[in-house]
Amino acid sequence: MKEQVRQRALDLGFDGCRFTSAGAPVYSEKFRRWLAEGLHGEMAYLERNASKRTNPELVLSGAKSIITLAVSYAIDQQKQAVPHYEKQPEGIAQESPLGVIARYARFTDYHNVIGAKLKELVAFVHQLSDAQSLWYVDTGPLLERDLAQRAGLGFIGKHTNLISRTLGNWLFLSELITTAQFDPDEPEKNHCGSCTACLEACPTRAITAPFQLDARRCISYLTIELKGSIPVEFRRAIGNRIYGCDDCLQVCPWNRFARQGKMMKPHARNELNQAALLDLLALDEAAFKHRFAGTPILRTKRRGLLRNVCIALGNVGDADALPALTRAAADCEPLIAEHATWALNEITSRLTATARSE
């Protein structure tokens, strides 16, 4: 039955399928210490369901097995990821500064794409056994990277993300927790070796030590999870990233084995590869919802995305951005107005410094 389920998962488009028990995750105590130190920032939901995350049987009574699944969102090796810049690069018109969106968000929302396939996989499991099952795509109270490592799907790297020796680290993870009994697969060992590329690449030094992340410093947290004002100390380091950050993932040497997965490929939103900052700043509520319908970016809401856009313009914009930022500084949303004012001051300071040096 186990191999039938694995083959069905691969047929559905998953790039990896491994099995583990429903016992407590290995890193349960480390997770609790991480919470106790406040390193999760304002992600209060992690605390609220911590007991379930450290005891999967509280998620599903009678659970015996967890099926862990991976979906690659690596791009074609012939295509280059859109780079990030702290300063506007040569060759790009100054009147159209660009923002960078994390690679995973340049698709139709993965929750919906993968969720539809998981429903089919659950139905298949139920055809084979009289079981109860629940499925999650980054939505349930499970320590999914821990479970994926124990199942042998990959290993947790020094950047705290899962790395597969056959798929790299551009991965979406999902799980199926079930009362069906499956023999567990062998766990994966860590293969980071002496590499510290991800620690060195982090713009805000959020990876404070190998395998240790201070989410409060992470650009993905700051631009997505944080709902309020972004601390001034991190704004320049954000550069022109407007939704997430790929730096620690991008430099991982295991990506030489990454390959484009077939499940997400048809759902690529190529228009998100390059985002014109001034166009985004002009979006009203209706236009924001229309432009990003069906993508993870809706999660930030207009106020969050335009907050990020203002920071990016403050870092890479020039005099041409001043009229738009002036309008944004009068936005009815205080969060946008605050960050637009900061951006105006940043650009004005640069222009003044340039004028003095000439």
By annotation, the residues acting in catalysis are: 138
Which phi and psi (to 5°) does residue 310 adopt?
-60, -45
Cβ contacts of residue 343 below 8 Å, gap of 6+?
310, 311, 313, 314, 317, 321, 325
- Tokens encoding 147: 């479970």
Please state the φ and ψ torsions of residue 177, each to the nearest 5 degrees. Answer: -100, 130
Q: Give the β-pairing of 212-213 and 207-209.
A: antiparallel
Q: Which of 313, 188, 205 is nearest to 254 (CA)?
A: 188
- Which residues is 66 bridged to in the sheet? 20, 177
Report which of 153, 163, 152 is spatially closest to residue 251, judged by C-alpha positions.
Answer: 163
Dist CA 13 CA 177 (whole Å): 19
Q: How far apart are CA 160 and CA 209, in angstroms?
A: 10
| C-alpha–C-alpha distance, residues 121 and 37, integer Å | 38
Q: Distance (Å, rounded) from C-alpha 187 to C-alpha 269?
A: 35
Q: What are phi and psi of 18, to 5 degrees?
A: -135, 165
Distance CA 216, CA 137 (A): 23
